Amino acid sequence: MGAFEQLYHLLYPIMVQSSYRYLGDEASCKDVVQEVFLKLWEDRASIEILGSVKAYVLTAVRNRSLNELKKKTRSWQELDQIEVGTAKTTDPGLQIEGKEISEIINHTINLMPPRCRTIYLLKREEGLTLKEIAAQLEISSKTVENQMTKALKMLAVALSPHVGIVLLAILLIGKWGLGLLNLSY
């Protein structure tokens, strides 16, 4: 067994587990890890790893996972910009799935730490800007931004198994009252 293959077998489970913390979806995590290994293989002649190989690949997995999360968030934001009107569905299955998604969102919001939840709700329900939230709560804008990132990450992880349902619900039912998909700052 070659060195690269040994590295693969040794680090693959750790890398998938690391990616799962960001994406919450095993299939996406495995894709991310495969992409990292493919990039390592393709660039093996030119890569210079000065420290730990494990730290290097875990950093690469973290970065790829965050990029994947950003792609998902961007897709949600673009879908929110689509004006779908007030179309309603009469399909009971879609109504149930929409209700389940609303329950997942509400449950996730309730699981957020108090400050994170407060900031998220001020942004989403009150429509305040990050600067307005910072002024109202007497905290830094950076803290507000970090808490919003944390809230959106929690929602993305909770909703990732249901992304297909979410996209369908957006297109058929229209915008949600929670403003979940309005990710503008």
User: Which of 111-120, 141-150, 151-160 has the least mean pLDDT?
Assistant: 151-160
Same fold, 3-78 and 85-173: no
85-173 to CATH, choices 3.20.20.100, 1.10.10.10, 3.10.350.10, 1.20.120.1200: 1.10.10.10
Max avg pLDDT among 62-71, 81-90, 130-139, 148-157: 130-139
What integer is the mean pLDDT of 86-94? 41
Residue for token digits 């297909």? 164
Was domain 3-78 assigned CATH 1.10.3720.10?
no
Instruction: Give per-residue pLDDT as tens, 18-68.
Output: 888 877 778 888 999 999 989 888 888 888 878 788 888 888 898 888 888
User: Which of 111-115, 162-166, 179-183 has the least mean pLDDT?
Assistant: 179-183
Q: Hey, what are 45's tokens?
A: 């002649």
pLDDT at 54: 86
Question: How many angstroms separate the Cα of 10 from the Cα of each of 53, 66, 93?
Answer: 11, 23, 44
Instruction: Give per-residue pLDDT as tens, 155-178.
Output: 877 777 766 554 544 433 343 333
CB burial of residue 168 (10 Å; 0-12, 13-18, 19+): middle
Is residue 101 within a helix (H) or strand (E), and if so which, with residue range? helix 92-111
